[in-house]
Structures are given as structure tokens and as C-alpha cells.
């Protein structure tokens, strides 16, 4: 078999995902005839039919399903290789990955810890922080410790206390705290955060269509239409700054700076915020799973 080209793989993925040669050609920015010829040549080179074509539809064969999965893996690996290669010519720039809504009071403190003359830092928002580290999209990630998987190194930044978000006019917003059982019984309660921006979740809470438990630092982003009430029965969420072993010098410098200065400052900031909101009340021992932030 002749060596396949990445262009051919990208062509096949476009056709396999749209199941329409015209739509795939438009997506690729080419005309349909050369795309059809390229797919036919690809099938000859692979040696098995990848697509079933009729006058009405295009479908994947069993071999095509397998080939599609492998093509996606290969193309993703090539994208990762390109990103990592480009980072070698930007040794002083670091990218932080963060889930939308995670530690909104912590990220600015992390950036400020570098000082006005620190290294350039970019921020990318993702719902797969470990994946962003592994594919080279990000160098470090701000995440909950429960999300950090095996093979990552991290620095603990401090805990966030759990609060439930309710509409400003909700009768329970005057309570000093709610129990886990009370929260779970509320209409619209979601045990896990939706994969959407914090502002979107806050809007849904304000409309009475969502009840969620988040970290205490989101109070700074709520505005006047949503209230945060402490929840007894959840343990605090431990925020960490995570990275892969063997990182570039600039990343090592960032993590060392955070370890030396930022972690303590962030922990104090979180502790002060929680103390002021709870008026010094002591929370009982927690027994439930950690909330998402």
C-alpha cells in the first residue's frame, strides 16, 4: 500500500461526518468532483470499500467506521505534534486551561502572581482540562483535584466551600445554610454542572430553571438576580494547578512562582471570602461527594 497523505484522511473524515459529498466539499473549500476522485483513490489504496453510495445516500461500511475512528486519532495526533512544535519557538509563553466558571476568584490571582513584568500567559477555556494538557493545547490547568488524573503533577491552591445558587426571590435564600438533602429535593437540581459557561448557568438559575452547587468564589460573578446559600453535607472542593511532568522551563518557572507565592495568597483570599460570607459559622463534617466548580 502506498503511503497515505493527511489530506486524504481529512477528506474522508469530512465525507464520513457529513455523509454528503456536496456538503463535505463545501466544508473543505473544494469542488465535489476532485473530492469524489480523491475518495475513490483512497479506497483503492486502502484496499476495501469505505463508503456505500447510492443515488439517495452515502453510508459508511463496517471498514469505513473503523477507518474513521483511526483517521480522527491520526489527525488529532498530528495537530498535537504541530502545537507542541510551535511551543518550542515560544519558550516564554505559557497557556493555562480552565473550565468555564471554575475558581473565578482564583484565576486573576494566579495571573497577578506573575507581576507586571512576568511571562506572557494565555488562557483557554475547556471542559477537558487533562485532555488540554495532553494534546498540547495548554501547559498548565486550573482544575478541581477530583478531575486531575494519574500522571499529572499539581500544586494545591486552596479549598472552595460549596454553595447552592438560587433565584434572588427564592424563599430559601434567607436561610443561613441548606442541607444536602434539602438541595437535592429542589426542582431543577442538577447533581453535575452542565457543560456551559458560568454566565449561562447563572441566567438559568435566575429564571428558576436550574439549581446547582458550585464553589464559593462564584459569588463575585452572580449579580443581583441570583443568591448563594452555603450547603452543609458537601466537602470543600480543592483547587489545584496541574501540569504534565517534564515541562518546559517557562512552565517550571510559573509553577515554582505559584508554589512560592500564589498558593498561599489564593488560599488566604478564599478563606477570607468564605469567612466573611459565613459570618464565622463553623461547618459540620462533610460526608457527600465533592461539588463541581
Task: Assign domain 160-232 to its CATH architecture.
Answer: 3-Layer(aba) Sandwich (3.40)
Residues 199, 226: Cα–Cα separation, whole Å: 11
pLDDT of residue 286: 36
Chain segment 241-293, per-residue pLDDT in tens = 888 887 666 677 777 777 665 555 555 554 554 444 444 343 333 334 444 45
pTM attached to this predicted model: 0.54
Domain boundaries, the chain: 6-87, 94-151+238-278, 160-232
Domain 6-87 top-level CATH class: mainly alpha
pLDDT of residue 10: 93
pLDDT of residue 290: 45
pLDDT of residue 292: 46
Q: Do domains 94-151+238-278 and 160-232 have the same CATH topology?
A: yes
The cell for 134 is: 495532553
| Run of H or E residues at 125 | strand 121-125
Cα dihedral across residues 174, 179, 183, 186: positive or negative: negative
Which CATH number is 94-151+238-278's, of 3.20.20.100, 1.10.1510.10, 3.40.190.10, 2.60.40.2250? Answer: 3.40.190.10
Which parts of the chain register pLDDT below 50?
Answer: 117, 270, 273-292
Do residues 11 and 35 lie in contact, with contact meaning Cβ atoms separated by under 8 Å?
yes
The cell for 174 is: 434567607
Residues 217, 163: Cα–Cα separation, whole Å: 9
121 to 78, 124, 156: CA distances (angstroms): 24, 10, 20
Do residues 98 and 150 lie in contact, with contact meaning Cβ atoms separated by under 8 Å?
no
* Residue 283, helix vs strand vs coil: coil
Backbone φ and ψ of 23, nearest 5° = -65, -40
pLDDT of residue 118: 60
pLDDT of residue 289: 44
pLDDT of residue 58: 92
Amino acid at each position: 500500500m502506498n503511503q497515505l497523505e493527511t489530506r486524504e484522511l481529512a477528506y474522508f473524515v469530512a465525507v464520513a461526518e457529513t455523509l454528503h459529498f456536496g456538503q463535505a466539499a463545501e466544508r473543505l473549500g473544494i469542488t465535489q468532483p476532485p473530492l469524489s476522485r480523491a475518495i475513490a483513490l483512497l479506497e483503492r489504496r486502502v484496499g476495501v470499500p469505505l463508503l456505500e453510495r447510492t443515488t439517495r445516500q452515502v453510508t459508511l461500511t463496517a471498514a469505513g467506521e473503523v477507518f474513521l475512528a483511526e483517521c480522527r486519532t491520526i489527525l488529532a495526533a498530528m495537530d498535537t505534534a504541530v502545537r507542541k512544535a510551535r511551543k518550542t519557538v515560544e519558550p516564554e509563553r505559557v497557556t493555562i486551561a480552565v473550565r468555564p466558571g471554575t475558581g473565578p476568584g482564583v484565576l486573576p490571582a494566579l495571573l497577578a502572581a506573575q507581576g507586571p513584568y512576568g511571562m506572557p500567559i494565555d488562557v483557554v477555556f475547556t471542559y477537558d482540562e487533562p485532555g488540554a494538557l495532553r494534546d498540547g493545547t495548554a501547559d498548565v490547568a486550573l482544575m478541581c483535584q477530583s478531575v486531575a488524573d494519574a500522571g499529572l503533577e499539581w500544586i494545591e491552591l486552596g479549598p472552595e466551600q460549596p454553595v447552592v445558587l438560587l433565584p434572588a426571590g427564592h424563599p430559601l435564600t434567607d436561610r443561613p445554610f441548606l442541607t444536602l438533602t434539602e438541595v437535592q429535593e429542589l426542582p431543577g437540581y442538577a447533581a453535575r454542572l452542565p457543560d456551559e459557561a458560568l454566565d449561562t448557568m447563572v441566567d438559568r438559575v435566575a429564571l428558576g430553571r436550574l439549581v446547582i452547587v458550585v464553589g464559593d468564589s462564584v459569588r463575585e460573578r452572580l449579580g443581583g438576580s441570583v443568591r448563594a446559600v452555603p450547603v452543609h453535607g458537601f466537602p470543600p472542593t480543592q483547587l489545584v494547578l496541574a501540569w504534565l511532568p517534564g515541562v518546559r522551563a517557562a512552565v517550571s518557572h510559573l509553577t515554582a512562582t505559584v508554589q512560592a507565592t500564589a498558593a498561599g495568597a489564593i488560599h488566604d483570599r478564599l478563606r477570607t471570602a468564605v469567612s466573611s460570607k459565613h459570618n464565622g459559622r463553623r461547618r459540620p463534617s462533610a460526608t457527600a461527594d465533592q461539588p463541581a466548580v
